[in-house]
C-alpha cells in the first residue's frame, strides 16, 4: 500500500459536523444543542488549547489540549466526577450502573466485570465475535443488492454481546433491547441541552415520555432475564452468572437484582451501539474509497488465506486496525464526554468551580489543527507512522482515558477486526447514492438517516 501516495489517489474527506459560528444566545445554543450537541463546540476549540463560553449564567469549558485532558482524566481524576448530564441522561435507563456510578459503588462494579475483559480471556470470544458477521455474510450472499448497513451492524454487534456474556438471551429479546435503546437515544439531545443551560430536570421536552417508556421497557426485559437465570444457573458460567454469584470481598454484599439489571443493560447498551456505529462508518468510508477497499480486502485475504480470523492473525492485520482507528478519529463513536470538578480548581488558564460543566470534546480533539496534519482528511497510514512521531496520550482517545477508560476497548477492537475481516473477504461494498450520511450526536455518533450500501458478493 506504500504505492498509494504516488498513485494519485484522491484525498477522501468523510462527512463532518458543521459547527455553529459566532456568539450564540442561550436560546440559539439550546437550538443548536438539541439538533446536534457537538455542533455547539465553538470553532476556536479546533485551534486553541481551551475555550469556554457562558450561557444562562453557567460556565461551559471545552479543553482540547491533550495535557489538560490528561490532567482531568488521569492525573487529577479524583478531583473530577462525571457531570450531571450523565446521571440525568443515563440513570433512568442504566440505573447506578458501572457507566454512571461514582466512588465505591463504581470501583466494586469495575472490579467485578474486569476479569471478563482481560487480554488472556478475550481470544476465547473470537468465535462468537465472528459468528454473527459470518451469518450476515451468508444472508447477503443469497440476497445481494442495496442493504441497510447501520441496522445490520446493530443486529450483529448486539448478537456478539449476548452470545459472549448473556447466553440464553435470544435474538428476539436482543432485537427488542436494541429497539428500546434506539427509542431512548432519539430525544437524548434534550437532556444534554437542558443540563448544559442549567434548566431543571422536571422541565418537559419532546420525547420525554417516550424515553421514560423505553427505559421502563428495557429494564423490564432484563429483569425477566435475571429472574430466568435465578431459576436456572449457567454452567460453565458466563459473565452474567459470574456477576450473579459475585460478593464484595469487603462487605460480602452481592449485587441485588436491580443492580444486575443496571449492570447487564449497561454492558449491552455500551457494548453494541458504539461498535455498531464504528463499523457502519468504517464500511461507509471504505465504500467511498473503492481502491483502498480492494487493497485492504487483498491484504486480509493474504493474511488469513480466506480462513476465519484467528488469534495468530491479529498482529498481521494491522492495516485493518489503522482503517478502524482512522474512522474512529474522524467519526468517534463517543464524540463528547463531560465532567465536573468536585471543588474549585484551575485547569489550564481557567478557574473552574463545581457548578461549571467541562466537556471533553473528543470529536474536536481528533480534528484539532495543532494535533493533526490535514485533520479532516482520511489517512489511515498516520497510525502506522506513529512510532516515528509519537503523539500525546490524549490526542487520540476514542475509548476515553484514565480509570474510567472504556472497559470494553480491547473487546471492541477485536470484534471489529474479526467482523470486518469476515465481511471484506466475502463482500464488496459500494456506495448506493451520492448523499453522504450526516453524523448525528445522540450520546453516540450515529448517521442521521439510514446508511444504504450496495452489497456485491466476491467470487
Residues that bind ligand HEM (CB under 6 A): 82, 98-99, 110, 161, 266-267, 270-271, 274-275, 278, 333-334, 337, 398-400, 404, 406-408, 411-412
Nearer to ligand HEM, 297 or 365 (CB): 365
* Distance in Å, CB of 302 to ligand HEM, minimum: 26
What residue has cell string 470484534?
415
- For the chain, give percent helix, strand, coil, nearest 5: 55, 10, 30
User: By C-alpha distance, which of 212, 232, 208 is closest to 220?
Assistant: 212
* Distance in Å, CB of 110 to ligand HEM, minimum: 5
Task: Quote the CA–CA distance of 293 and 289 in Å, as a whole number.
Answer: 6
* Distance in Å, CB of 27 to ligand HEM, minimum: 28
Nearer to ligand HEM, 275 or 289 (CB): 275
| 67: phi then psi, degrees, rounded to nearest 5 | -70, -40
Beta bridge mates, 147: 453
Nearer to ligand HEM, 266 or 425 (CB): 266
Nearer to ligand HEM, 271 or 437 (CB): 271
* Distance in Å, CB of 178 to ligand HEM, minimum: 14
* Distance in Å, CB of 82 to ligand HEM, minimum: 6
Nearer to ligand HEM, 211 or 412 (CB): 412
What residue has cell string 428476539?
172
Listing DSSP states for 175-217 in one string gives: HHHHHHHHHHHTTTHHHHHHHHTT--TT---TTHHHHHHHHHH
Nearer to ligand HEM, 20 or 407 (CB): 407
Listing DSSP states for 280-331 in one string gives: HHHHHHHHT-HHHHHHHHHHHHHHHTTSPP-GGGTGGGHHHHHHHHHHHHHS
Nearer to ligand HEM, 366 or 404 (CB): 404
Helix axes 208-231, 171-185, angle to 10 degrees: 150
Q: Is 318 left (phi over 0), alpha (psi -120 to 50) or beta?
A: alpha
Nearer to ligand HEM, 333 or 428 (CB): 333
Task: Quote the CA–CA distance of 84 and 100 in Å, as a whole number.
Answer: 10
Is 118 exposed, middle or buried (CB count within 10 Å of its CB: 0-12, 13-18, 19+)?
A: exposed
CB 12, CB 288: distance < 8 Å:
yes
- Of all residues in the shown chain, the one whose CB is closest to ligand HEM is 408
Nearer to ligand HEM, 20 or 184 (CB): 184
* Distance in Å, CB of 402 to ligand HEM, minimum: 8
CB 308, CB 425: distance < 8 Å:
no
Q: Is 305 left (phi over 0), alpha (psi -120 to 50) or beta?
A: left
Nearer to ligand HEM, 20 or 273 (CB): 273
What residue has cell string 481528533?
366
Task: Quote the CA–CA distance of 254 and 246 in Å, as a whole number.
Answer: 6
Nearer to ligand HEM, 128 or 412 (CB): 412
* Distance in Å, CB of 446 to ligand HEM, minimum: 12
* Distance in Å, CB of 114 to ligand HEM, minimum: 9
Find the radius of gyration of the CA atoms of the chain: 22
* Distance in Å, CB of 268 to ligand HEM, minimum: 8
Q: Buried b / exposed e across 342-376, counting CB within 10 Å, b at 16+?
A: eeebebbebebeeebbbbbbbbbbbbbeebbeebe
Paired sense of beta strands 357-360 and 58-63, if any:
parallel
Other CB atoms within 10 Å distance of the CB of residue 82: 18
* Distance in Å, CB of 424 to ligand HEM, minimum: 18
* Distance in Å, CB of 336 to ligand HEM, minimum: 9
Paired sense of beta strands 80-82 and 427-431, if any:
unpaired
Nearer to ligand HEM, 159 or 407 (CB): 407
* Distance in Å, CB of 382 to ligand HEM, minimum: 18
Amino acid at each position: 500500500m506504500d504505492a498509494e501516495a504516488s498513485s494519485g489517489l484522491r484525498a477522501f474527506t468523510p462527512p463532518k459536523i458543521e459547527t455553529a459560528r459566532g456568539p450564540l444566545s442561550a436560546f440559539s445554543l439550546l437550538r443548536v444543542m438539541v439538533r446536534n450537541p457537538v455542533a455547539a463546540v465553538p470553532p476556536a476549540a479546533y485551534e486553541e488549547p481551551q475555550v469556554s463560553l457562558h450561557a444562562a449564567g453557567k460556565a461551559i469549558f471545552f479543553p482540547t489540549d491533550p495535557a489538560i485532558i490528561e490532567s482531568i482524566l488521569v492525573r487529577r481524576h479524583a478531583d473530577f466526577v462525571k457531570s450531571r448530564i450523565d446521571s440525568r441522561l443515563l440513570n433512568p435507563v442504566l440505573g447506578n450502573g458501572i457507566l454512571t456510578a461514582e466512588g465505591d459503588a463504581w470501583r466494586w462494579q469495575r472490579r467485578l466485570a474486569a476479569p471478563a475483559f482481560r487480554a488472556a480471556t478475550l481470544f476465547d470470544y473470537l468465535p462468537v465475535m465472528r459468528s454473527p458477521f459470518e451469518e450476515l455474510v451468508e444472508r447477503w450472499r443469497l440476497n445481494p443488492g442495496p442493504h441497510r448497513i447501520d441496522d445490520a451492524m446493530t443486529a450483529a454487534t448486539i448478537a456478539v454481546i449476548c452470545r459472549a456474556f448473556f447466553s440464553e438471551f435470544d435474538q428476539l429479546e436482543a432485537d427488542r433491547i436494541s429497539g428500546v435503546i434506539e427509542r431512548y437515544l432519539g430525544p437524548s439531545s434534550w437532556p444534554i441541552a437542558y443540563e448544559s443551560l442549567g434548566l431543571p430536570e422536571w422541565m418537559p421536552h419532546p420525547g420525554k415520555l417516550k424515553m421514560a417508556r423505553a427505559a421502563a421497557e428495557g429494564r423490564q426485559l432484563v429483569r425477566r432475564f435475571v429472574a430466568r437465570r435465578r431459576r436456572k444457573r449457567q454452567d460453565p458460567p458466563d459473565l452474567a452468572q459470574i456477576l450473579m454469584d459475585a460478593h464484595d470481598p469487603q462487605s460480602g454484599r452481592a449485587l441485588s437484582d436491580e443492580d444486575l439489571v443496571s449492570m447487564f443493560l449497561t454492558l449491552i447498551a455500551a457494548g453494541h451501539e458504539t461498535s455498531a456505529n464504528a463499523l457502519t462508518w468504517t464500511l461507509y468510508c471504505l465504500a467511498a474509497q473503492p481502491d483502498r477497499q480492494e487493497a485492504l480486502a487483498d491484504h486480509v485475504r493474504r493474511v488469513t488465506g480466506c480462513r476465519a480470523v484467528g488469534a495468530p492473525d491479529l498482529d498481521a492485520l494491522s492495516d485493518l486496525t489503522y482503517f478502524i482507528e482512522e474512522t474512529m478519529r474522524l467519526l468517534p463513536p463517543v464524540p463528547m464526554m463531560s465532567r465536573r470538578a468536585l471543588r474549585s480548581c484551575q485547569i489550564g488558564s481557567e478557574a473552574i468551580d463545581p457548578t461549571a460543566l467541562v466537556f471533553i470534546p473528543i470529536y474536536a480533539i481528533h480534528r484539532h489543527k495543532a494535533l493533526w496534519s490535514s485533520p479532516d482528511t482520511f489517512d489511515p497510514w498516520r497510525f502506522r507512522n506513529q512510532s516515528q512521531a509519537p503523539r500525546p496520550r490524549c490526542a487520540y482517545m476514542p475509548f476515553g482515558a484514565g480509570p474510567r477508560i472504556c472497559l470494553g476497548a480491547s473487546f471492541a477492537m477485536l470484534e471489529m477486526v474479526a467482523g470486518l475481516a469476515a465481511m471484506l473477504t466475502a463482500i464488496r461494498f459500494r456506495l448506493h447514492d451520492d448523499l453522504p450520511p450526516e453524523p448525528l450526536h445522540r450520546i453516540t455518533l450515529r448517521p442521521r438517516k439510514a446508511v444504504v450500501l450496495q452489497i456485491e458478493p466476491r467470487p
